[in-house]
Amino acid sequence: MPNDALPPAPSLHAGEPVEASSRERYRGLIWLVSAAFFMQALDSTIVNTAVPAMADALGVTPLGMRSALTSYVLTLAILIPASPWLCDRFGTRKVFGAAIAVFGVGSLFCGLSQTLPQLVAARVMQGVGGAALMPVGRYVLVRSIARHEFVAVMSTVATFGLLGSVLGPLLGGALVEFTSWRLIFLLNVPVGIAGMWMNKQDMPEYRMRHANPFDLLGFLLFGAASALLLTASELVGAEHVAWARIGECTALALLIGVIYVWHSRRTAFPVADLTLLKVRSVWVALAGNLFTRLGISGMFLLLVLFLQVGCGWSALMAGMMMVPQAIGSISAKWIVNRALARLGYRRLLIGNTLIVAMLLASFATFGRDTPAWLIAVMVFFYGGFGGLQYTAMNTLVYHDLDIKHASMASSMASTAQYLSMSFGIALATLLMESLLQGHAHSDYVAAFRWTVLILAVVTASASRVFSRLRIDRPTRGQLPA
């Protein structure tokens, strides 16, 4: 056995399966990671519909609940870069189990909170646990699943995450209406207990015998820059905030980011290894993900508000309109493996990005008199091509990497995903507010139409990024030894 690691997993570049199907051998692991993704996605969306009830119970205004919503995402984005070192130092089984436990305890405290500061502190604890769930889960799958089966497995895992995102608003509304908002969080406790048992049974142990030193300074710099950027994006959507304050946060974040780049080039083991960007498929995946999510991340919020505020739908009916999106996305994920095998990443992502942009632009035809069935059909196709887009982008980042870089790539991909999602929601909110300009709700439909048209253009620009992938064969980036 080597001195620096536990028994090796199948090589990421192996052209042939090492033995029987890895999907069969790691079935329990796939279920465990899928359950973790479902729980995290559910928790990220279930709170939105419960904000008014939570605000009333805690004695604050709904707008004052913003800190409870943003604290979770901030914690995720800041702590995710630490997950590779934690895995190398303590092992994937211990880190993943601890993440589930901390997430469950944080959920318990959320359900028992009596004041807003208590809820914010509990949401931060949830974020501490949630920060390791997604990147560690992806990393273990990369280490365990044979390359020729990886896209299909990631499609399965992503489907459970999507189900959590879609069921969240519906379940949140139902719990608030028929029981209590506290059950939104307390339901995570038994799920967490079951997850810890599954982790003990099915999670493989990958770690380094001699972990690299942790880049504390780089972690603080990266975390500060991420937090400031996320804060700036949240301030854009807030009321009565001076643009100078937003500019100060953005400028300071960029300055700290430049300092981090300078620091990472002089550090042997940086918290985010920017040398991975020398691999074409990595930087294309991260940049393409950013531009794509800038255009489409705010659509869930915009569509629900459009149906409620602009068209007068009930909250429950508006939430149900997300179901066709989930069905479409789930349906598309079962064909993504064959689509990639036939078209390759370059042709698939260029063409699919333009299709998503056109579908997004078609939402500008929606109005108060648009039949519900027509909206459902268009949302179904949007969900289908959107699901294809997400899966292709999320797997592209690993396509040309050696297995030793999988943990770092997973961390960087997860951090970029949360940052770009936040920026996308902020951009959509900013566009809507700018177009409304304080007018009555009667102008909401027109503002929605112009907003989706602008976001469609932003989304289409991502196709230019994906065109940088090579045409004939995958790019094999040369990384420093």
Give yes or no: residues 150 and 204 share one domain: yes
Give yes or no: residues 379 and 456 share one domain: yes
Beta-bridge partner residues of 5: 208
Cβ atoms of 118 and 109 closer than 8 Å: yes
Specify the pTM.
0.73
For residue 371, what are its two tokens?
């039949």
Burial annotation 256-274 (CB, 10 A radius, 16+ → b, else e)? bbeebeebbeeeebbbbbe
CA contacts within 13 A on the Cβ side of 347: 9
Q: What distance in Å separates the CA atoms of residue 171 and residue 175, rounded to the nearest whole number?
A: 6
Residue 481 lies in a domain: no
For residue 370, what are its two tokens?
């648009």
Domain count for the chain: 3
Residue 439 lies in a domain: yes
Last residue of a domain, one of 270, 297, 312: 270
Residue 182 lies in a domain: yes
Give yes or no: residues 264 and 282 share one domain: no
So what's the pLDDT on residue 127? Answer: 87
Give yes or no: residues 259 and 394 share one domain: no
Give yes or no: residues 455 and 468 share one domain: yes
Last residue of a domain, one of 160, 175, 208: 208
Helix (H) or strand (E) holding 91: none
Cβ-in-10-Å burial (0-12, 13-18, 19+) of 42 comes to buried
Residue 11 lies in a domain: no
Give yes or no: residues 96 and 166 share one domain: yes
Give CA 83 to chain center in angstroms.
16
Cβ atoms of 23 and 151 closer than 8 Å: no
Tell me the torsion sign for CA atoms 17, 18, 19, 24: negative
Cβ atoms of 55 and 64 closer than 8 Å: yes
Residue 479 lies in a domain: no
Tens digits of pLDDT across the chain (481 residues): 333 333 344 444 444 444 456 667 777 788 888 888 887 777 777 776 666 677 778 887 554 566 677 677 778 878 887 877 788 788 888 898 899 999 999 999 999 999 888 998 998 899 888 888 877 887 788 778 777 777 778 777 877 877 787 777 778 777 777 788 888 888 888 888 888 888 888 788 777 766 678 888 988 888 888 778 777 766 765 556 667 777 888 899 899 989 988 998 888 778 777 888 888 888 888 889 888 988 888 787 778 777 777 777 776 777 777 778 878 877 887 788 788 888 888 889 999 999 999 999 999 998 888 888 999 899 899 988 988 888 888 888 877 777 777 767 777 887 787 777 777 777 777 787 777 765 555 577 888 888 899 999 999 999 998 988 876 444 444 443 3
Give yes or no: residues 89 and 190 share one domain: yes
Tell me which residue range forms the domain holding 367.
275-473
Give yes or no: residues 203 and 279 share one domain: no
Beta-bridge partner residues of 208: 5
Give yes or no: residues 468 and 333 share one domain: yes
Cβ atoms of 420 and 289 closer than 8 Å: yes
Give yes or no: residues 323 and 221 share one domain: no
